[in-house]
């Protein structure tokens, strides 16, 4: 297949592109605007690859997307480009609406224009919209996890913009017959994640002996999926998913934020003991994120059955790989810390 991947220089998109090049024979065109969150290094192996090309473009530029779709004639689209950091969405929601809502709209329209111009593509064509479990809102401690049929209840500017894009994608399926597939996934972690998100930010602060901020009392819970497991699931979905279907993807690895932070400290202490003492001494409880959802979790049984996929890494195994990866790729994140984001608090709505 000829696949168009949006956001392929981001954290999950680059894992998808690397997996596609390693494990399939598909041709890949990556479309990425190269925002602060993009990293060409994450696609190093793809740079010279004969089956891969990178086009720098903004998905919210409708005319440009239409032009790219008509020129490249992809047989499937994997749409991952987005603004993704909840804290940044609190400080500046406009960019989230522009990219996540208008960007998704312009891609859906470009796909529709492509199928009108090339009806022979229609039978195989898929538009895979990659989304998050945050669109379902917050679970209480005893609620059952989200599934494919959970009602929408987004509560942050980020999750509201993703929910809007999910609704647009499904509307284009029902109204225009565009073969759309949606997947909603739990929190990802692993190599190449921009050091603003909980796991890499904590890891780097702990390594540098800086304070480790934990929002509120650290009891908020997330369900963690190793990024390479997610990338494999996404490729299964674009290859074999049903148009109109939703896939809930997760690994049943719920942890409280405090447990995650402590696990990172313990993993670092084992690999690289700090003469000043255990790194948990650096933990500081700070005022909570405004509107902080208490808990997200996904029950992936239905998707595991439909896709013959399940996550290969539990949290402890995935975290050990992640910690080792960050220790071995210091120059990558040191450059980002120096030039793009130094680790200061974002999203306090102050």
Ligand X SMILES: NC(=O)c1ccc[n+]([C@@H]2O[C@H](COP(=O)([O-])OP(=O)(O)OC[C@H]3O[C@@H](n4cnc5c(N)ncnc54)[C@H](O)[C@@H]3O)[C@@H](O)[C@H]2O)c1
Nearest Cα residue to 251 out of 83, 115, 90, 133:
133
The window from 63-71, 112-120, 125-133, 255-263 that contacts ligand X (CB under 6 A) reads: 125-133
**Residue 60: both structure tokens together:** 């919210």
Active site residue: 133, 196, 228, 304, which one? 133
Of the pair 193, 282, the CB lying nearest ligand X is at 193
Q: 221: which residues sit within 8 A by CB, 6+ positions away?
A: 141, 254, 255, 256, 257, 294, 295, 296, 297
Radius of gyration of the chain (CA): 20
Burial class (CB in 10 A: 0-12, 13-18, 19+), 132: buried
Q: How far is the CB of 79 from ligand X (least distance, A)?
A: 7
Q: Quick one: which H or E segment has residue 45?
A: helix 44-47
> Does residue 133 have an active-site annotation?
yes
Beta bridge partners of 131: 184
Q: Does 12 bind ligand X (CB under 6 A)?
A: yes
Beta bridge partners of 283: 212
Q: How far apart are alpha carbons 59 and 101 in whole angstroms? A: 10
Among 3, 17, 32, 108, binds ligand X (CB under 6 A): 32
Of the pair 251, 282, the CB lying nearest ligand X is at 251
Q: Quick one: which H or E segment has residue 94?
A: helix 93-96
What are the helix (H) ranges across 208-289?
227-240, 257-271
Active site residue: 32, 87, 109, 134, which one? 134
The window from 2-10, 144-152, 212-220, 273-281 that contacts ligand X (CB under 6 A) reads: 2-10
Backbone angles phi, psi at 201, to 5 degrees: -65, -45
Active site residue: 87, 158, 189, 304, which one? 158
Interface mask toward ligand X for 179-218; x: CB under 6 A: ------x-xx-----x------------------------
Size of residue set near ligand X by CB under 6 A: 31
Among 3, 28, 52, 58, binds ligand X (CB under 6 A): 58
Among 46, 60, 108, 212, binds ligand X (CB under 6 A): 60
Q: Does 10 bind ligand X (CB under 6 A)?
A: yes
**Residue 175: both structure tokens together:** 């109204």
Of the pair 279, 315, the CB lying nearest ligand X is at 315
Among 84, 150, 156, 262, binds ligand X (CB under 6 A): 84
Q: How far apart are alpha carbons 9 and 18 in whole angstroms? A: 10
Q: Does 130 bind ligand X (CB under 6 A)?
A: yes
The window from 33-41, 45-53, 113-121, 320-328 that contacts ligand X (CB under 6 A) reads: 33-41
> Does residue 166 have an active-site annotation?
no
Q: Does 222 bind ligand X (CB under 6 A)?
A: no
Q: How far is the CB of 247 from ligand X (least distance, A)?
A: 12
> Does residue 134 have an active-site annotation?
yes
Q: Is the Cβ–Cβ distance between 206 and 265 less than 8 Å?
A: yes
Interface mask toward ligand X for 294-323; x: CB under 6 A: ------------------------------
Q: What angle do CA 53, 58, 59 make, to 5 degrees?
A: 90
How many CB atoms are located within 10 Å of the residue 252 CB? 19
Residues annotated as catalytic are 133-134, 158
Q: Which residues bind ligand X (CB under 6 A)?
A: 6-7, 9-13, 32-35, 37-38, 58-60, 80-84, 99, 103, 130-132, 162, 185, 187-188, 194
């Amino acid at each position: 297949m000829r696949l168009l991947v949006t956001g392929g220089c981001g954290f999950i998109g680059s894992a998808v592109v690397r997996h596609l090049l390693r494990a399939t024979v598909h041709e890949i065109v990556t479309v990425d605007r190269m925002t602060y969150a993009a990293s060409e290094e994450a696609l190093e192996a793809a740079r010279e690859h004969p089956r891969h090309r990178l086009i720098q473009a903004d998905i919210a530029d409708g005319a440009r997307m239409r032009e790219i779709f008509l020129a490249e004639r992809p047989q499937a689209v994997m749409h991952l480009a987005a603004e993704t950091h909840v804290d940044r969405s609190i400080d500046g929601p406009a960019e989230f609406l522009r990219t996540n809502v208008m960007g998704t709209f312009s891609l859906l329209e470009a796909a529709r224009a492509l199928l009108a111009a090339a009806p022979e593509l229609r039978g195989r064509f898929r538009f895979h919209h990659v989304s998050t479990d945050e669109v379902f809102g917050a679970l209480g401690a005893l609620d059952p996890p989200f599934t494919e049929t959970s009602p929408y209840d987004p509560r942050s500017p980020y999750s509201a913009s993703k929910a809007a894009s999910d609704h647009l994608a499904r509307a284009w399926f029902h109204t225009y017959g565009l073969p759309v597939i949606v997947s909603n996934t739990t929190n990802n972690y692993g190599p190449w994640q921009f050091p603003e998100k909980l796991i890499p930010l904590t890891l780097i602060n702990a390594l540098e002996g800086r304070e480790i901020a934990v929002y509120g009392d650290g009891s908020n819970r997330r369900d963690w999926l190793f990024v390479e497991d997610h990338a494999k699931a996404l490729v299964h979905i674009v290859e074999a998913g049903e148009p109109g279907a939703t896939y809930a993807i997760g690994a049943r690895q719920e942890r409280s934020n405090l447990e995650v932070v402590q696990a990172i400290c313990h993993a670092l202490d084992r690999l690289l003991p700090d003469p000043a003492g255990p790194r948990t001494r650096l933990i500081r409880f700070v005022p909570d994120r405004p509107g902080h959802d208490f808990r997200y979790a996904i029950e992936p049984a239905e998707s595991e059955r439909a896709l013959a996929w399940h996550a290969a890494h539990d949290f402890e195994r995935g975290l050990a790989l992640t910690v080792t990866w960050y220790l071995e790729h210091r120059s990558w994140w040191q450059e980002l810390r120096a030039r793009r984001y130094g680790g200061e608090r974002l999203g306090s709505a102050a």
